[in-house]
Amino acid sequence: MLLKIETEYYIYDSLEDLSEIQRSLLLRAKQNTHHAYAPYSKFYVGAAILTDDGKVIDGSNHENAAYPMCLCAEQVAIANFHQHRTDQKIKSIAISARTADKLIDSPVPPCGACRQILLEVAEKLKADYEVILQGETGKIFVIPSVKALLPIQFDSSNL
Ligand code: THU
């Protein structure tokens, strides 16, 4: 038997195509790139989480001279979400990036490790959520299901 996995996402041309809520979350993620500490890669990532009650929770990447200790923006945002001790669910996360070297004109998808972390929180909350991606400019991806980003995932049910 052959099974096929499909991932659905929307592609938009500009910020105008988003809802006001999505647009302001993405703009917040872009702002958060300015709070990144990324002196080594000079790749500044910002994330912003929107909870069901309208709270916005921020994250940005934090690097270290000991390279493997780098924290991705998504991981910082999720840790920050937990720190808020909220019982709210996550509605969306927006992620953006910029670099000193060139204009990033395509969406920057979360790395594999971040997908694992983003998924864990969806499992914990028992609620899927949306992922919004854009570089500094260019197309915007809206992925309605974070779970779709990591099919056949390892989770607590495997332990
Ligand atoms: N980075 C993130 O913040 N999120 C990702 O999903 C991919 C990579 C950061 C880690 C590192 O500080 C820089 O981007 C370059 O890899």
Counting Cα atoms < 13 Å in the Cβ hemisphere of 149 gives: 26
Q: Which residues line ligand 1 (CB under 6 A)?
A: 38, 41, 43, 45, 61, 63, 70, 72-74, 110-111, 114
Q: Which amino acid, 36? A: A
136 belongs to the catalytic site = no
Query: Of all protein residues, whose CA lies closest to atom 6 belonging to ligand 1?
Result: 110
Q: Which domains does the chain have, with CATH numbers?
A: 19-150 (3.40.140.10)
Give counts: helices (H), strands (E), the chain: 3, 6
Q: Looking at the whole model, is its pTM more than 0.95?
A: yes
Write the pLDDT tens digit of every residue in 71-107: 999 999 999 999 988 789 999 999 999 998 899 999 9
pLDDT tens per residue across span 142-157: 999 999 999 999 999 9
Nearest to 95 by CA among 45, 34, 143: 45
Q: How far is the CA of 3 from the centre of ligand 1 (A)?
A: 32
| pLDDT more than 70, % of the chain | 100
Nearest CA to ligand 1 atom 8: 72
Nearest CA to ligand 1 atom 4: 72
Identify which of 78, 84, 59, 88 has the alpha carbon closest to the alpha carbon of residue 119.
Answer: 78
CB of 49 closer than 8 Å to CB of 60 = no
